[in-house]
Chains A and B, each alone.
Chain A
Amino acid sequence: MPGAAVVVIGGGVTGLSAAWWLRRAGVDVLVLERDIVGWHASGRNGGGCTHIYSPFGLEEQKLWPQMDELLGYPTEHQPNRIRVALNEHQLTLFRRAGEIAAQRGFRTDFLSPKELKELVPIVGDNALGGTYTHYGGHANPQRTIQAYAWALQDLGGRLLQNTTVTGIQLRGGRVTGVETTRGPVGAEALVIAAGTQTGLLAAMVGARVPLAPARVEMIVTEPMPLMTRGGVDGNGLYGRQALRGNLIYGGGPHEWIDVGDMGAPELPTSPLTRNLARRLAELFPGAGHLRVIRSWAGAVENTPDGLPIVDRLASPDNVVVATMSSVGFGLSPAVGKAISELVIHGACRFADLGSVRLSRFADTPPDWRECQGWVPAPDRSALDLGVLEGSPAAG
């Protein structure tokens, strides 16, 4: 049976970064990806690298400026971010964010409307000011994902795309391999980092990982002249100006969905494109003439508290499960490193992973999504009538 010392399920940023860090440490590693690398949330996000609140945040900030050089391929990483306030409440929030960031030594400058306009010429008179953070930044997710994959290959790591995992082999309480659409693959250790399907895969080894998948959307405009700082957020939107000049922004309502099997979910966009367009034109009145040339949807998964799960299972103890709870791209350099340390040393040596353990959900009820009010409780009368079970409307 062909195989590897470590098999990583999921060619997204988390899985590929983990594989790359493992390979850097000399580990024989193979990544299995159902579609192509980064085809789902990893390649469809705002590209933000500004998560200092996270236990992985310090490492994220340390690593991003080095990633181009470490990987040997471009990520389009750009440092620092600007936030635009359109009302007093937002100014207050940004001020508070600055104070909290300062607790960890991160600097924030406050911008007058005039200073803001000089940095971001497309903001309008509705902008009351903003902040300039001397931390964080953004990168191009699609370029970064390929950079991880290529860097992994350059070091001798392997990648199998268009390969779906259909089962996991266990022997003597340990994972010994996985079944795939291309046949069995042996493994001495397993990393599950499969986005929305992470819960389904974890269930194959007896672990319950509570995840709620959702569909979210972004829009892309035609290019405009490059601003000196591309990472500008505000008005309920997150995103960036790409180095090509396009504005790429998302935000707003998500749709909770169900992912019943290992297949790729259909991900249509919706008329939300229009609401995003309005928000973007409000944030940047000087860009209202720009034409939207694309939109896209992606599927992300959330845990009950919105925080990641990055943990090595107690049993089988050669499995690490990783879900970033919908915030994974920016943190990927640090999380991949953490995962590699969990695999190799059994513990992360640079961050306290206490808040991202799976055990915190040991008592979470199976219907937690309904309990939290995320999705409606099933209609009991319909259940009694047997309408839901077995009907196409079920699930």
Chain B
Amino acid sequence: MIDPSSVVGKAPPIERRVPFVVVGAGAAGVAAALEAVRAGVEVMLIDENPLDPDLMAMDVPHYFGQRMSLSARNRALMLERVIEANPGLGRADEAGVDVQLGVSVWGAFRNGPTQRELAGPVLGLANEERSWLVRYDRLLIAAGTRDVVLGFPGWQKAGVMGANGLASLTRHRVFAGRQLAVLGSGPLGLQTARQALEAGLEVVAVVEVTAELRGDPVETRRLADQGVRFYPSHTVQEASGRTGEVESVTLIRLDADLAPIAGSETEIACDTICLALGLAPNVELLALLGATLRFRSDLGGFVPETDGWLGTSAPGVFAAGDCTGVHEALVADDGVARGQGRLAGLGAALSLGAVDRARAEAVRTELGGVGARPSEPVHAYWRHWLRSSIRVGGLEVYACQCEEVTRRELIGVQPPRYLGWHSAGMSARGLGTLLRDGPINQDQIKRLTRAGMGPCQGRRCREQVALFLAEEAGVPVGQIPLPSFRAPVRPLSLQVLWPRDEPEAARDHWVSWFGIPTQFTPHWTSHVDASETTVFMGLGGESQHGGSSVEKQRELPGTGRG
């Protein structure tokens, strides 16, 4: 028997094996599922809507800002609304796709040089009750985007949220606010304002840091005619409210150098401040799978490298839709995402041998170029917002809300306040001294400051921390490497992750550390007694195989304790 305390023989049980799994039932995911199922491929389409209300309260997966109404907790109602709001789900179901709703994908695992025991590539899935594993032959990640969040004084108050969060809540009619200030006047900001008006909400301001408004002038005019007031050359001075809830936003006018003009403050009553500055591709599953990612500011940040069928560098893994790159021109038009979904679905079907190459090539030609059209670099615009906010709000603003890390603590690379640590040496340290030891490593900064280490898993701070570090270090943001993503990419409880399918071998042969009988033997004892060897680290390993290993070691020359 090979080392019974190792992973050998303990491969986790796989509940199902599916030829083609599609993650995300947006425009791209639905189109891919339909394309593949029509080619005769068995398809599972997974979508996490209706969302777990407890995750929504943690701003996962979108920045919801605690603006969910109580109905969001009514699962049956939400299921109805999710189906009603996304006609693609019904179409996929009718076409024979196995549509799994309310299921999140929290992990993606495959064998590699240091992980060889899996039966095959698997996804970790979960609903609100349990978790399980599904094996795929081909996988499409169509995971969409995340809200890009740039803080300002008071952004930790309930009522500050993101455009994706607002769109999700209004789409499912569970938005609890009434008066909205929108930050960002580009296509995303205008669409957010438009959807808010259509949902019967009041849009009290659309704020833009630049002197020029950024969106379609016709739509801007139309919104203005409907009473929406635009504030170019403004930034947020503060979100105010007495009870931890947003009650008003104070804007301040900026000069040409983004410096605030004293006396130009305007306080506007509102219950919600919606960040509509941009979106970031959701690449965490692709990162877990080891797909090559590269920085493309015109596509929102790090995006997967893909081939002519939208295959990534990870074997059998495709990517389509906004997670392959997004910009504001795509916001109002899901045609690109749909085309990408079809192409990826076709690519998966082709690689499974379900369609012949000539037909696949013909459809690909008909689809034409489906890549996201390159647009303007977006990070420079985000840096404008950040700079204005630093000039107006200073450094005592949180960079990371979960861990309550201020901008000053971030650039000082200071330990968390709860340690109460003060020393001259520590005060003399900062990003500047750290940079002398090597280029910025966000994982190192996370470790030291804890920014990005909280329950929202960095969703509300990844971009602003990277931008802030780039600003302070004086380097392009593309030079700041992506911090690591780690499973579970949805925060799931111990009870939900609990493997009800745990194999007996994993249960019975569990040791806290390696199970090498001599490893924890007190050095002053002269003999090895197998029953005592794990006294110091044998914290309840059920495995009682220590004795035989001792015998084995004694037989082997040169491995006894010398």
Contact = CB atoms under 8 A, between A and B. Distances in A.
B438 A273 contact: no
Interface string B181-193: 0000000000000
A318 B497 CA distance: 51
Given A143-B448, A305-B553, A362-B558, 17 more contacts: A54-B523, A146-B448, A161-B437, A244-B416, A251-B510, A251-B511, A252-B512, A253-B511, A254-B7, A255-B116, A268-B290, A271-B122, A271-B499, A293-B488, A302-B519, A361-B558, A364-B558
Interface in B509-561: 509-514, 516-525, 532, 534-542, 549, 552-553, 556-561
A238 B541 CA distance: 11
Contact of B509 (A93, A237, A253): A253
Interface in B374-419: 403, 415-416, 418-419
Interface residues of B, dominant DSSP = loop
Contact of B115 (A162, A255, A305, A354): A255
Interface string A145-174: 010011100100001011000000000000
A261 to B, nearest CB: 11
Interface string A87-127: 10110010011001001100000000000000000000000
B189 to A, nearest CB: 31
A254 B514 contact: yes
Contacts of A237: 512, 539
25 contacts: A36-B444, A50-B536, A55-B523, A76-B419, A87-B540, A100-B535, A100-B536, A143-B415, A146-B448, A214-B514, A244-B403, A253-B506, A269-B486, A269-B487, A270-B12, A270-B109, A271-B12, A273-B497, A274-B502, A277-B499, A289-B494, A292-B491, A359-B562, A364-B556, A375-B3
B492 interface: yes
B295 to A, nearest CB: 19
A321 to B, nearest CB: 15
A374 B494 contact: no
A306 B519 contact: yes
B558 A255 contact: no
Interface in B435-457: 437-439, 441, 443-444, 447-448, 450, 453-455, 457
B455 A222 contact: yes
Contacts of B425: 72-73, 150-151, 154
Contact of B112 (A83, A222, A266, A280): A266
B561 A268 contact: no
B498 A278 contact: yes
Interface in A343-370: 354-355, 357, 359-365, 368
A62 to B, nearest CB: 16
Contact of A278 (B426, B454, B499, B537): B499
Contacts of A371: 552, 556
B521 A53 contact: yes
A236 B522 contact: no
Given A73-B423, A293-B457, A305 B519 contact: yes
B104 to A, nearest CB: 12
B282 interface: no
Given A235-B539, A236-B511, A274-B499, A368 B559 contact: yes
Contacts of B492: 291-292
Contacts of B493: 288-292
A373 B552 contact: yes
A266 B76 CA distance: 43
B559 A238 contact: no
Interface in B452-495: 453-455, 457, 486-488, 491-495
Q: Which 10 A-B pairs have the closest CB atoms?
A: A360-B562, A306-B519, A306-B516, A363-B558, A277-B497, A291-B491, A142-B447, A281-B494, A304-B559, A364-B558
B514 to A, nearest CB: 6
Given A162-B438, A238-B513, A251-B510, A291 B455 contact: yes
B6 interface: yes
Contact of A244 (B113, B418, B426): B418
Contact of A253 (B107, B494, B510): B510
B109 A268 contact: yes
Contacts of A154: 425
B256 interface: no
A218 to B, nearest CB: 11
B5 interface: yes
Given A235-B539, A271-B124, A293-B454, A279 B561 contact: no
Contacts of B12: 270-272, 274-275
A39 B536 CA distance: 27
Contacts of A104: 522, 524
Contacts of B517: 306
B115 A215 contact: yes
Contacts of B112: 266, 268
Nearest to B505: A253
Interface string B1-43: 1110111001010000000000000000000000000000000
B3 A294 contact: no
B556 A368 contact: yes
Given A253-B509, A371-B556, A375-B3, A36 B438 contact: yes
A258 B113 CA distance: 8
A87 B544 CA distance: 14
A143 B3 contact: no
B330 to A, nearest CB: 31
